[in-house]
Amino acid sequence: MKDVLDDEGLVTFPELYVVSDVVEGITNVSQANGMAGIESNILLLGWPKEEKLLADFLRIMRRLECLNKSLIIGNIQPGAFTAGESLKRSIHIWWGGLQRNGDLMLLLTYLLSRNPEWLRSKIQVMSIASDEIMKTRTENYLKTLLPEIRIDAEPSVVVKPEDESVIDLIHKESSNADVVMFGLAMPDIGKEEAYARHLDRLARDLPTVFSVKNSSLFIGELLKQDFE
């Protein structure tokens, strides 16, 4: 692990833990992790090949929320973040608004776009509307919000056809993006496997995907404006 990080030129502190249970193990490590009075507040997990493990990650998410630690599950395509010249790239943020994940998704997108290879990125805040009236309301909200929080992004609201599923619509709109961000909802206890199947279908056939759950102490502080 250290050799890979050194090859990438990353200054990090790799640690390896042996645990008998992934849910208990990651939860315990997340509480103990830190150095010199600095605690981690975000966990980044790679997208698992098995839906069962993805369901375990969702169970971990519930525990992390109690600890005010946010979670990011990333399905990163090979070569997506290879260092090189700045290219014109596209980042899509799918905006739901109900789970209050927008703060963290916008912050992560901003930080990504400050990297030299991503300085020319085009950021789009995507949303789905049920009709033209809701589309107009959402567009007006985003057009007011984004300049206020100083995010250089373009709102894009799509009306969902009755004969098209939400997943199919998202796949159609974001298939050519370089990075796609979604907010994570908290599934009911016992519904983790069903939600894991939904997330797996959502991430399938898309480029690099980050699913984000904001559980920080400052949730909602960035986006103060009410959407009514």
More confidently predicted of 219 and 108 = 108
How many degrees, rounded to 5, is the angle at CA 73 between CA 222 and CA 58?
95
Residue 84 has pLDDT above 70, yes or no: no
Q: What is the pTM of this model?
A: 0.88
Of 220, 223, 224, 180, give the one whose Cα is nearest residue 70: 220
Which residue has 């992560």 as its token pair? 108
CA dihedral 161, 162, 163, 164 (to 10 degrees): 50
Q: What is the pLDDT of residue 227?
A: 39
- Nearest alpha carbon to residue 80 among 125, 117, 126: 117
> Measured between alpha carbons, how far is 165 from 121 in angstroms, rounded to an integer?
28
Which whole number is the average pLDDT over 36-40? 78
**pLDDT tens digit sequence for 106-162:** 999 999 999 888 988 999 999 999 999 999 999 999 998 888 888 889 999 999 999
Return the pLDDT at 31.
87
DSSP β-bridge partners for residue 34? 39
Q: What is the distance of C-alpha 184 from the center of its chain?
A: 7
Question: Minimal CA–CA distance to 73: which of 219, 217, 174, 185?
Answer: 185
Q: What is the pLDDT of residue 85?
A: 64
Mean pLDDT of the chain: 88
Q: How confident is the model at residue 16 (pLDDT cuts 50, 70, 90)?
A: confident
Distances (CA, A) of 153 to 91, 149, 156: 9, 10, 10
Whether the per-residue pLDDT at 6 is higher than 90: the answer is no
Q: Considering only residues 96 and 139, tell me which one the structure prediction assigns the higher pLDDT.
A: 139
Cβ burial, residue 94 (10 Å; 0-12/13-18/19+): buried
Residue 5 confidence (pLDDT): 81
Domain 75-213 sits in CATH at 3.40.50.620
CB 91 within 8 A of CB 80: no
Would you list the domain boundaries of the chain? 75-213
| pLDDT value at 8 more than 90 | no
Checking if the pLDDT of 225 tops 50, the result is no
